């Protein structure tokens, strides 16, 4: 019996060896190798290490993950091959470690797929694919075509893309819509976005709607409330008075059934008739940066919703700053917050926010030209050390490119351009316009103006040129306003509204 047990053990061990040697080629991408030597195991370890380094780099900066040419490491030669997916959402990564054992050439090949982490900056692919000199646009009337609701116009005010979902806010002052906040499935950007919630969600603020949205990793949406409450007298001690709070927190963990969790009134802000309402918002690392319209009190507010002191259902006000004017756009990067304002002397303000309890104004940019109510700071984009600023319409330049390598010194001006709607060289004369949104991808700048989607070549900031004929935003005539933009891979999504209060979502991509 003892001899039989030993014999069975030997059979089992033999089968285990057969199993290991048959599985390992699958793990290694089809390359056969033996694990019987120390060299083999070291090669496998090095191949895994290459993939793990790439994975760690993708978390810090997804765009930084790139191919590595073969290089020597002791007796081995190591390399990494990276292939971007067409939509820019994932990267396929191969690691290869090769060596010679004296009689033959051997190699270990491992592969994995990295996914772009969910961030507040959208999901734009840095790689341009297809022919962007001839972009294609598909437009959808938001109420009729996406919501299947003809009750009113649903004028779109803001969109934000996280993962494969789009979060949309609408202005409800004129429409009296049954909903003001929407979650759409855009898994397949080539088809019409799909509404995920079976019932239309309203933010319960007397029909005023929302001005802007920011989203964390997919649990909560933070929205800037457009309702003009009397912030001098209204009270909201428990976060349930939805008419008295510039920041509202929406639980979106179940996309089919979003729910209002908290309404937050900013301390120290007073004002009536639209003063002190929520106008702009940005989320990063557990902190909401909220901008308000001009009021008495701080228009720029830093609110902890999970960084250290607060939570989504218990926001805690950290730092504030009284701008003396409204806040049109906020962009946060590292220790700095960049704010576009209507201040004609400082269209761009830069704050050091390394201490969230004490934001410090450290820089600004005053674009030349522009009187009262014109030439105001409107939109911001930041790529590496280059900052892009859009302004409201004036008889001058509305688009600026600035060197942001040191935010705490006056930013050197790299280039600028006068942006006009209808600038096709044919009558009628083009109109001054506003740069409402900026997306930068590689050497192209994509601008959303009052009535057009424009593409500029910007790799030489001193010579910014038109790259493609502009696309006219829907409905194609009348008083149109492009309001917001974001992207997923090689697709750019635009929100706009017409003078009839109808809202539109347009999807733009290159010609294959």
Strands (E), 62-162: 68-73, 76-84, 90-100, 105-115, 123-124, 131-141, 156-162
Geometric angle at alpha carbon 294, from 290 and 299, rounded to 5°: 30
pLDDT at 365 over 60: yes
**φ/ψ (deg, to 5) at 15:** -65, -40
Please tell me the distance from the alpha carbon of residue 101 to that of residue 412, in angstroms, as a whole number: 57
User: Could you tell me which residues come within 8 angstroms of residue 121 by beta carbon, excluding any fewer than 6 positions away?
Assistant: none
Classify residue 142 by its DSSP letter. I
Q: In what order do the strands lie in the sheet with 156-162?
A: 156-162, 165-170, 181-185, 194-195
User: pLDDT tens digits for 72-101?
Assistant: 999 999 999 998 764 456 678 889 999 988
Give the model's pLDDT for residue 427: 62
- Measured CA to CA in angstroms, residue 372 lies from 299, 343, 345 at distances of 19, 9, 10
More confident residue, 346 or 58: 346
Average pLDDT, the chain: 85
Strand partners, 76: 73
| Domain residue ranges in the chain | 26-115, 123-511
Rg (CA), the chain: 27
**Coil, helix or strand at residue 144:** helix
- Domain 123-511: assigned CATH number: 2.130.10.10
Taking Cα atoms as reference points, which of 442, 448, 454, 380 lies closest to residue 411? 380
Please tell me the distance from the alpha carbon of residue 212 to that of residue 279, in angstroms, as a whole number: 6
pTM, whole model, 2 decimals? 0.78
Please tell me the distance from the alpha carbon of residue 338 to that of residue 301, in angstroms, as a whole number: 13
User: pLDDT tens digits for 198-244?
Assistant: 888 888 766 688 999 999 877 899 999 999 899 999 999 999 999 89
Give the model's pLDDT for residue 425: 66
User: pLDDT tens digits for 257-302?
Assistant: 999 999 999 999 998 878 999 999 999 989 999 999 999 999 999 9
HSE toward the beta carbon, residue 2, CA cutoff 13 A:
0
Please tell me the distance from the alpha carbon of residue 350 to that of residue 333, in angstroms, as a whole number: 11
Which range, 52-61, 462-471, 476-485, is most confident? 462-471
More confident residue, 25 or 190: 190
């Amino acid at each position: 019996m003892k001899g039989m047990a030993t014999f069975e053990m030997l059979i089992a061990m033999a089968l285990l060896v057969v199993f290991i040697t048959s599985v390992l080629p699958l793990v290694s991408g089809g390359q056969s190798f033996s694990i019987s030597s120390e060299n083999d195991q070291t090669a496998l370890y090095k191949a895994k290490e290459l993939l793990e380094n790439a994975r760690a780099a993708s978390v810090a900066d997804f765009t930084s993950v790139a191919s590595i040419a073969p290089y020597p490491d002791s007796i081995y030669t190591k390399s990494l091959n990276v292939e971007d997916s067409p939509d820019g959402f994932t990267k396929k990564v191969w690691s290869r470690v090769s060596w010679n054992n004296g009689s033959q050439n051997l190699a270990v090949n491992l592969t994995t797929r990295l996914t772009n982490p969910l961030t507040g900056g959208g999901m734009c692919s840095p790689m341009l694919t297809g022919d962007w000199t001839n972009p294609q646009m598909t437009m959808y009337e938001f109420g009729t075509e996406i919501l299947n609701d003809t009750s009113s116009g649903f004028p779109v005010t803001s969109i934000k893309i996280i993962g494969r979902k789009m979060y949309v806010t609408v202005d409800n002052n004129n429409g009296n819509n049954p909903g003001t906040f929407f979650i759409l499935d855009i898994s397949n950007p080539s088809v019409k976005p799909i509404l995920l919630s079976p019932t239309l969600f309203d933010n319960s603020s007397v029909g005023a709607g929302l001005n802007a949205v920011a989203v964390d990793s997919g649990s909560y949406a933070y929205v800037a409330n457009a309702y003009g409450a009397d912030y001098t007298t209204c009270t909201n001690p428990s976060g349930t008075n939805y008419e008295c709070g510039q920041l509202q927190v929406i639980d979106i963990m179940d996309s089919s059934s979003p729910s209002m969790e908290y309404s937050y009134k900013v301390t120290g802000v007073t004002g009536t008739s639209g003063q002190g309402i929520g106008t702009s918002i940005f989320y990063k690392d557990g902190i909401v940066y909220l901008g308000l319209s001009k009021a008495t009190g701080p228009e720029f507010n830093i609110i902890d919703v999970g960084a250290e002191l607060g939570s989504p259902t218990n926001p805690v006000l950290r730092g504030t700053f009284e701008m003396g004017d409204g806040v049109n756009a906020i962009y946060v990067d590292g220790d700095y917050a960049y704010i576009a304002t209507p201040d004609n002397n400082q269209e761009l303000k830069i704050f050091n926010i390394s201490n969230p309890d004490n934001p410090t104004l450290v820089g600004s940019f005053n674009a030349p030209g522009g009187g009262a109510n014109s030439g105001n700071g409107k939109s911001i984009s930041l790529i590496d050390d280059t900052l892009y600023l859009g302004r409201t319409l004036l008889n001058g330049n509305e688009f600026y490119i600035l060197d942001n390598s040191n935010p705490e010194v006056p930013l050197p001006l790299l280039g600028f351009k006068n942006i006009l709607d209808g600038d096709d060289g044919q009558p009628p004369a083009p109109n001054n316009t506003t740069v409402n949104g900026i997306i930068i991808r590689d050497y192209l700048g994509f601008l959303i103006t009052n009535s057009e989607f424009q593409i500029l070549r910007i790799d030489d900031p001193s010579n910014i040129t038109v790259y493609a004929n502009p696309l006219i935003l829907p409905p194609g005539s009348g008083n149109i306003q492009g309001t917001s933009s974001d992207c997923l891979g090689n697709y750019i999504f635009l929100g706009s509204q017409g003078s009839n209060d109808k809202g539109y979502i347009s999807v733009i991509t290159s010609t294959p």
